[in-house]
């Protein structure tokens, strides 16, 4: 009996020892492969992340940019025990972006789950595939065409609001653009009018910014990773308060819309107007409700997650793109005049709203927007987690590693863009783009996880910018080199975009 007990004891002791040895062997191989890749010096346990602990919010991007330029096109860092490999060369990022295997987002996006749940931005696997398939048709050209009047209506309100700033000493145009974009996304995505440009829902906008800021702060401070600690900290309490605002806002509108949807007219199969600003135009939320009603594919939580994702991505990213375009045009009056001349040829001095045909004819303005997104991509970095080993250049990058794709730096590689830090819309002339690597320009990502709303964003930005430039001359007050960039979910200027306006 004693012998049996002894054997059982030895087996019980040996089993964890074998597991530990196997883990140690895998970890040794993992570390060996990662450390073949160049990168900054790392401390035991802490890794290289200690550099970020003491950086002020408005200095983090500058620090990361400096380090990246020293080591790219490929380098590694350690966030504690987590290895991170950073990529910028188009040939390298194509391996990841073009893959149907490497689609899982990095653990950084876990910090967004309390807000966005498992919407298109954060989900993976079967759920992502099914929702992507369901949502893609909602951005069909005909549906986008039905939104052009919303773009125009809200842009017209913006132009009227800006009148009070004409011939003034200067002002921050960012809040004006943000509220216009929020009005647009609420009406197109949710089918409701919130009048953000008249002072409505400023609490929602503040909550979006603060939630983005807290998410980044948490990502670079490992002691805030455990929920038990985070939600008991001051930033965690602020995060929770803002979540209540964000979810309360979307839940309220979804419930109102569901009630309206249940009253839809059988003759027209379109929602009737029930006094909360609903039109017969089908909003993104309507299409989700219709899919849920017909096929029971989406739960109420699924719908809220997708709506929260589109509310965030649909106003914050376009606001940034429009404001950076105004910054650059305000520094390049010759380019601004060329845009105006193109608009004058299209509208012939008329003040009518743009049609879809008009937007498609804005070829030069489109090049301006593309060049703006080259220099200031709204999402400057994308994170993925490798599910299997992958060969990138001369290195084998092991499974379990976090990959960071540096879109910001990809767009500034001199081998693809002569004078890469200079604003030049001619970078997108057909003869220049023809031979360029397709992954040298990826402001909307690329491959299976590309941005489903990129055409929506382009038409919206064209409408807002053309409305402003048809009415005003814009002059930038900030020097480009003085703009401090915030490395948060969206590449925002720390202190807004300050301009003056002159009536045309």
Q: What angle do CA 429, 435, 440 make, to 5 degrees?
A: 85
**Using an 8 Å Cβ cutoff, are 121 and 112 in contact?**
yes
pLDDT per residue over 367-384, tens digit each? 999 999 999 999 999 999
Q: What b-and-e string marks burial along 305-314, b requiring 16 or more CB atoms within 10 Å of the CB? A: bbbbbbbbbb
Q: Terminal CA-to-CA distance of the chain, rounded, Å?
A: 99
SS3 state of residue 265: strand
- d(CA 451, CA 447) in angstroms, rounded, equals 9
* Residue 449: closest CA among 222, 131, 189: 131
Residue 413 is given by DSSP the state: -
Q: Model's pTM, two decimal places?
A: 0.89
Residue 186 backbone dihedrals phi, psi, to 5 degrees: -65, -40
In a 10 Å sphere around its CB, with 0-12 CB exposed, 13-18 middle and 19+ buried, how is residue 182 labelled?
A: buried
Residue scoring higher pLDDT (454 or 133): 454
Give mean pLDDT, residues 252-279. Answer: 59
Strand ranges across the sheet with 381-385? 74-79, 82-87, 402-406, 381-385
Whole-number pLDDT of residue 213: 81
Burial class (CB in 10 A: 0-12, 13-18, 19+), 109: buried
CA atoms within 13 A on the CB side of 153: 13
CATH code for residues 45-503:
1.10.630.10
Collapsed DSSP state (helix, strand, coil) of residue 378: coil
Residue 484: the pLDDT is 95
Mean pLDDT score, 216-233: 86
Q: Are 339 and 368 in contact (CB under 8 A)?
A: yes
Structure token pair of residue 205: 């906008």
Residue 221 has pLDDT above 50, yes or no: yes
Q: Render pLDDT for 293-337 as a digit per residue (tens, 0 to 9).
A: 655 567 788 888 888 888 888 888 999 999 999 999 999 999 999
Whether 278 has a pLDDT exceeding 60, the answer reads no
Rg (CA), the chain: 25
Of residues 173 and 120, more confidently modeled: 173
304 and 247 in contact (C-beta within 8 Å)? yes
What gap in Å lies between CA 353 and CA 466, rounded to an integer? 10
3-state secondary structure of 2: helix
pLDDT at residue 269 in the model:
44
How confident is the model over 67-77, as a mean pLDDT? 93
Where is 131: in which H helix or E strand? helix 125-135
Between 436 and 274, the more confident residue is: 436
- pLDDT tens, 456-485? 999 999 999 999 999 999 999 999 999 999
**Burial bucket for residue 283 (CB in 10 Å: 0-12, 13-18, 19+):** buried
pLDDT bin (cut points 50, 70, 90) of residue 266 is very low
Least confident of 119-123, 181-185, 243-247, 377-381: 119-123
- Side-by-side strand order, sheet with 498-503: 171-172, 498-503, 472-476
Q: What Å distances lie between residue 353 and 153, 156, 464, CA to CA?
A: 8, 8, 11
Q: Which of 347, 311, 378 shows the shortest CA–CA distance to 463? A: 347
Decide the pairing of beta strands 74-79 and 485-487: unpaired
| Spatial CA neighbour of 307 closest among 93, 80, 90, 116 | 116
CB 167 within 8 A of CB 305: no
Helix H or strand E encompassing 42: none
d(C-alpha 123, C-alpha 117), whole Å: 8
Q: Can you give the residue ranges of every domain in the chain?
A: 45-503
Give the residue with greater pLDDT, 338 vs 261. Answer: 338
**Number of Cβ within a 10 Å radius of residue 240:** 13
Spatial CB neighbours of 410, under 8 Å, sequence gap ≥ 6: 88, 89, 90, 93, 439, 440, 441, 442
Angle of the 300-331 helix axis to the 202-219 helix axis, nearest 10: 90
């Amino acid at each position: 009996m004693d012998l049996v007990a002894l054997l059982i004891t030895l087996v019980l002791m040996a089993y964890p020892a074998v597991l530990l040895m196997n883990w140690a062997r895998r970890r040794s191989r993992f570390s060996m492969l990662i450390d073949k890749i160049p990168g900054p010096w790392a401390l035991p346990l802490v890794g290289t992340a200690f550099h970020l602990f003491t950086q002020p919010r408005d200095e983090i991007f500058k620090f990361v940019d400096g380090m990246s330029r020293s080591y790219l096109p490929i380098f590694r860092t350690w966030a504690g025990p987590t290895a991170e490999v950073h990529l910028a060369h188009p040939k390298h990022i194509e391996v990841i972006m073009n893959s149907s295997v490497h689609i899982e987002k990095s653990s950084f996006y876990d910090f967004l789950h309390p807000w966005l749940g498992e919407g298109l931005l954060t989900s993976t696997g079967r759920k992502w595939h099914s929702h992507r398939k369901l949502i893609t048709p909602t951005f069909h050209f005909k549906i986008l065409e039905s939104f052009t009047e919303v773009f125009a209506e809200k842009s017209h309100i913006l132009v009227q609001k800006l009148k009070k700033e004409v011939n003034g000493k200067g002002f921050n145009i960012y809040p004006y653009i943000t509220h216009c974009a929020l009005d647009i996304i609420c009406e197109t995505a949710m089918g409701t009018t919130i009048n953000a440009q008249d002072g409505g829902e400023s609490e929602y906008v503040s909550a979006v910014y603060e939630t983005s800021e807290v998410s980044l702060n948490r990502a670079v401070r490992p002691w805030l990773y455990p929920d038990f600690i985070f939600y008991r900290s001051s930033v965690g309490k602020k995060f929770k308060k803002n979540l209540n605002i964000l979810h309360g806002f979307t839940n309220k509108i979804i419930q109102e819309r569901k009630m309206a949807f249940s009253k839809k007219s059988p003759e027209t199969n379109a929602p009737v107007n029930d006094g909360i600003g609903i039109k017969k135009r089908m909003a993104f939320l309507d299409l989700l409700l219709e899919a849920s009603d017909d096929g029971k594919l989406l739960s109420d939580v699924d719908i809220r997650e997708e709506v929260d994702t589109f509310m965030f991505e649909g106003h914050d990213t376009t606001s940034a793109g429009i404001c950076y375009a105004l910054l650059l045009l305000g520094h390049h009056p010759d380019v601004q005049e060329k845009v105006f001349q193109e608009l004058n040829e299209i509208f012939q001095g008329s003040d009518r709203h743009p049609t879809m045909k008009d937007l498609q004819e804005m070829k030069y303005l489109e090049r301006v927007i593309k060049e703006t997104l080259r220099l200031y991509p709204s999402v400057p970095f994308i994170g993925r987690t490798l599910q299997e080993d992958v060969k990138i250049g001369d290195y084998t990058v092991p499974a379990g590693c976090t990959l960071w794709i540096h879109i910001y730096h990809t767009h500034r590689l001199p081998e693809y863009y002569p004078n890469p830090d200079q604003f030049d819309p001619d970078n997108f002339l057909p003869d220049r783009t023809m031979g360029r690597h397709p992954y040298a320009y990826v402001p909307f990502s690329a491959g299976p996880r590309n941005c489903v709303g990129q055409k929506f964003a382009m038409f919206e930005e064209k409408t807002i910018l053309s409305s402003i430039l048809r009415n005003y001359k814009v002059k930038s007050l900030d020097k480009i080199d003085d703009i401090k960039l915030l490395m948060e979910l969206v590449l925002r200027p720390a202190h807004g975009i300050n301009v003056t306006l002159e009536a045309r």
